[in-house]
Chain A
Amino acid sequence: MSDAKEVILTARGLHKSYAQGAGQLHILKGVDLEIRRSEALCIVGASGAGKSTLLHILGALDAPDAGEVQFRSNNIFKLGDEALARYRNKSLGFVFQFHHLLAEFSALENVLLPARLGGLSHEAAKQKADILLNKMGLSHRLHHFPSQLSGGEAQRVAIARALVNDPEILFADEPTGNLDSKNGLMIQDLFFELAEQMKVTLVVVTHDSKFAERFPRVLRMQDGRWEEGSSVSGEIETRI
């Protein structure tokens, strides 16, 4: 499927290795990618193929050994600490396999924290978080702590937290990997609904083939590279 939407994130020649014993484990071997505004992209592949490492690099959580990532033509790894943090805060949202909510904060507080980090007043951040949690169907759980929430509820709070600053790209790393099938399905629906409503670009890494089937664009990784047939520019729709 051809798409005329602008490219907002570009990765070129990404390499990443990790030390393993005396040697090096080469995880990414020259990965290129273009992500277009408001698209929904799924990355699949076997364990150890390099999907999560790629997601972390695209999300500026880790730096590549070689190659570059450009967000709207700016190389993000040339940004200073402050600018890089601002980029993560304003432009990106993250959802992980484990919800990673801060245990000492209520659902509402967890969601408003990124907004506070972005400079919003407590009241304004609270109002925004409140609206989002209501959208997630968690109005009755605002003041509950993560330990008092079910797995599905906690993951919904994590999604609200990722979206509170109206990011341009939402990265999700195995977001349903830790949930039962019912909750997993609910989270999948939520992703697509919110991505549609909020016009956010969705980049998801998953093992779940049923989840992957719902994406218009799917890329498969194998041994640190795109599997043959994957379209890194997004101009050709690829299905598993």
Chain B
Amino acid sequence: MSPWVWVAFRTLRSGQKKAGIASWFSFVGLILGVASMMVAMAVISGFETTLKEAIIDVRGHLVVFKQGRQVEAPDQFEAKLKSIVPDITATVPFVMVEAVAAHKGRLQGVIIQGVDAALSSEHLGIRKRIIEGEYKFTKEEDVMGVVVGKGFAHNFNLRVGDVFRLVMPIANDLRPVDFKRKMGQFKVMGVVDLGKHQYNERYLVADLKHAQEFADLGSKYLGLMVKIKDSQRARSFGLDLSADLGPNYWVQDWEDDNLFEAVKVEKPILFIVLLIMVIVAALNISSTLFINVVQRYSDIGVLKAMGATPRWIRRVFFSQGLLIGAIGNFLGFLLGLVFCGVFVLLQKNMGVIDGSVYNVDSIAVQIRMGDLVTIFLVTMLICFISTLAPAWRGAELKPVEGLRYE
């Protein structure tokens, strides 16, 4: 161990003691600042991931559809897309129709997402989100089996096996202002947590053929849900597809949700706001180190008399600042972990997240290594900067000034 590190470590603790309880408060402030940044980043990252996973599980990485109804065979359409983006790993044809649910005197607008049971099981993530019943779409006589979002099930007090009605207005091709009413009976085969509040409240997942039949679509489908190798490239592939397919096609990627834009803006703002807490703590630490320097004038004088250079003295105080930063980071991360655990428990037991406000019913807290590294480096930098003034004061002290100080 370098002698300045040795001296820095050994004298830091007694310096803290000499500076009194104020120094401990500033250290606690640093720990709380680091913990707050960690929790905030973990919650925001978790929110982002929760939302992303929900969208990708329900709709794939990209959704490509044609204005009007798609008539091209799904296989041909898929081949066309793959010729533009070879990274496409799978496609799932789908229809999406709006209807009104009517049950026990209650009405609510819903969206029926019709997908092939086998393809969606393999390539989408809805099946793994089933919380009650099964992911299957049987049809007995005129009653079609569907999987419903947990919010919808809750609103209509539906359990697995219950039957309810849907009413759908079907436009008259010749006179678009005229609608005919189509009614159908549906049986709850499973209840699913689709991750996103809006999906849970309004989504029903049905078999593609059943949905086509109910909506009088024949074999027409709306478009393809597309899976690719790397979800992070969805936006660029979406732009490629849009450019090649022309204006009659719409392409949406999973990032098209405005919430992602909001998160992108909010995350750095929140980081900076919480960083102010760390900066305030670091300023307090700086004043503690200043007190330490003043109280150690005599020691600094002796060290210089023994041959310590100004650079050596500076290194002692830099090491102290960095040590405070490192310990503050470590304890802050530990406290942050505890806070994250408490947050997860509160979500589970008290439902602190209001889905209608935040669009998700729960957030899987996600601690990203990148966030931790950023917090660590920024905190260390601030702690280092906070040592500059005390270190300079100590280094510039003349030995004789220190020796006179008692």
Decide: B305 and A59 in contact? CB cutoff 8 A: yes
- Beta-carbon contacts of B363-406 to A below 8 Å, as 1s and 0s? 00000000000000000000000000000000000111001001
Distance in angstroms from A168 CB to nearest chain B CB is 14
Decide: B10 and A62 in contact? CB cutoff 8 A: no
Binds A, one of B112-120, B270-278, B306-314: B306-314
Does B347 touch A at the CB level, under 8 Å?
A: no
In the complex, which of the residues B10, B14, B301, B306 contacts A89, with contact meaning CB atoms closer than 8 Å?
A: B306
Does A71 touch B at the CB level, under 8 Å?
A: no
Does A114 touch B at the CB level, under 8 Å?
A: yes
In the complex, which of the residues A61, A89, A105 contacts B399, with contact meaning CB atoms closer than 8 Å?
A: A61
Q: Which residues of B contact A165 (CB under 8 A)?
A: 307
Contact count band on A = 20 to 34
Does B150 touch A at the CB level, under 8 Å?
A: no
Does A94 touch B at the CB level, under 8 Å?
A: yes
Distance of A98 Cα from B299 Cα, bound (Å): 12
Decide: A88 and B306 in contact? CB cutoff 8 A: yes
Decide: A81 and B299 in contact? CB cutoff 8 A: no
Does A100 touch B at the CB level, under 8 Å?
A: yes
Decide: B309 and A85 in contact? CB cutoff 8 A: yes
Chain B residue nearest to A161 (CB atoms) is B306
Chain B residue nearest to A119 (CB atoms) is B3
Decide: A114 and B307 in contact? CB cutoff 8 A: yes
Does B302 touch A at the CB level, under 8 Å?
A: yes
Does A90 touch B at the CB level, under 8 Å?
A: yes
Does A126 touch B at the CB level, under 8 Å?
A: no
Decide: B312 and A117 in contact? CB cutoff 8 A: yes
A selection of 13 A-B contacts at a CB cut-off of 8 Å is A61-B304, A85-B304, A85-B308, A85-B312, A88-B306, A88-B307, A94-B306, A100-B299, A102-B299, A105-B10, A114-B307, A116-B3, A161-B306
**Are A81 and B310 CB-contacts (below 8 A) given A104-B10, A104-B11?**
yes
Decide: A61 and B305 in contact? CB cutoff 8 A: yes
Distance of A79 Cα from B302 Cα, bound (Å): 20
Decide: B306 and A98 in contact? CB cutoff 8 A: no
Does B70 touch A at the CB level, under 8 Å?
A: no
Q: Which residues of B contact A161 (CB under 8 A)?
A: 306
Decide: B403 and A61 in contact? CB cutoff 8 A: yes
- Beta-carbon contacts of A131-171 to B below 8 Å, as 1s and 0s? 00000000000000000000000000000010001000000
Q: Which residues of B contact A82 (CB under 8 A)?
A: 309, 311
Q: Which residues of A contact B11 (CB under 8 A)?
A: 102, 104
